[in-house]
Amino acid sequence: EAHQIVSPTKEAKLKWLTGLLGSALHKGGPRIVDIASEVSAVLRSMFELSVTGKSLRLAEMAAHLASMMCGALTGTYVDDLFAADDGDASTSFPARWVASKVREGERTDLIPTPFKWRRPSPEEIEVATA
């Protein structure tokens, strides 16, 4: 029943879990296409329950997740924000581009590398606009 789903305890747990899902969606990029229909079904259920349970908080959680999913599918950003392109987790992204000047005789591996951009695919745009 709706009143049980939006009880304070379950609402807190749901808020935590939707936060985790939102974080995963935010960083999911093209992988979201594979699970978009399932996530959309969850969002529909959350919106329906927010109406029957008269829970604005549940509707806000669903709206936030919908926003995260759309952002993941349509976002254009510097790819390096989420992962090192060389697979070296010991070097954070900023450490690879902070040196803006190199003097003669200094290490040249500190010269900034070009940014790699993540652009949405036509399939991602199609899923986001469906």
Average pLDDT over residues 7-36: 86
Tell me what pLDDT residue 36 has: 92
> Of 39-43, 65-69, 116-120, which gets the smallest average pLDDT?
116-120
- % of the chain surpassing 90 pLDDT: 29
What distance in Å separates the CA atoms of residue 78 and residue 61, rounded to the nearest whole number? Answer: 27
Tell me what pLDDT residue 111 has: 58
What distance in Å separates the CA atoms of residue 116 and residue 46, rounded to the nearest whole number? Answer: 36
Tell me what pLDDT residue 64 has: 93
Q: Does pLDDT of 98 surpass 70?
A: no
Of 29, 27, 24, 30, the closest CA to residue 42 belongs to 24
Find the distance separating the first CA and the last CA of the chain, reported in whole Å: 30
